Amino acid sequence: MNREIIDTEIIKDVQNEIIYQGMDKLFVTSRGMPFKYDEIIIMEATAYDLSYQSTGKYPNHPEYGITYSGTKAHPGVVAVDKSVIPLGSKLYVESLDRTSDYGFASAEDTGSAIKGNRIDLFIDDHYRAMQYGRRNVRVYVLNDEVSENDINGYSERRIYERN
């Protein structure tokens, strides 16, 4: 059986277009906010606060409450191994044990015990920081801009908002 083209007609010129780009690396928060990310890392998380037990510094120490990056420690600041996550990176820290997510964070600190796939989350209450224990978390290294208003980690303000 032979086939033969009798006639051709161009109805519409072909236009190159990208329909979806990067959709495989899109994280959507529980509130429906989409963010692009570069990497996902499963990490062991611990928590710290400004107490002497956490930092080895008393309030009268000149570097008390100051992060490795030179900023003041506050909810939303995390300590990382800078060879794993670059300082200044914006992150989303998702809980893997059905507890509340830490949420948006900024990698601004380091710690002597924070090596490899470990992350230390700043919590502004000593009791809650010690109660946090060790947990596995999923850390999204974001490549989208994150508003400073969204970077709040665990804070007293968030406790009262949930009640």
Average the pLDDT over 17-35 and give the result. 66
Average pLDDT over residues 123-144: 93
Instruction: Report pLDDT digits (tens) over 42-67.
Output: 999 999 999 999 999 999 999 999 99
- The pLDDT score that the predictor gives to residue 52 is 95
pTM (predicted TM-score): 0.77
Q: If one looks up domain 33-162 in CATH, what number appears?
A: 2.40.40.10
C-alpha–C-alpha distance, residues 161 and 138, integer Å: 24
Closest by CA to 81, choosing from 114, 104, 112, 41, is 114
> Which pLDDT band, with edges at 50, 70 and 90, does 98 fall under?
confident
CA 153, distance to chain mean position in Å, is 10
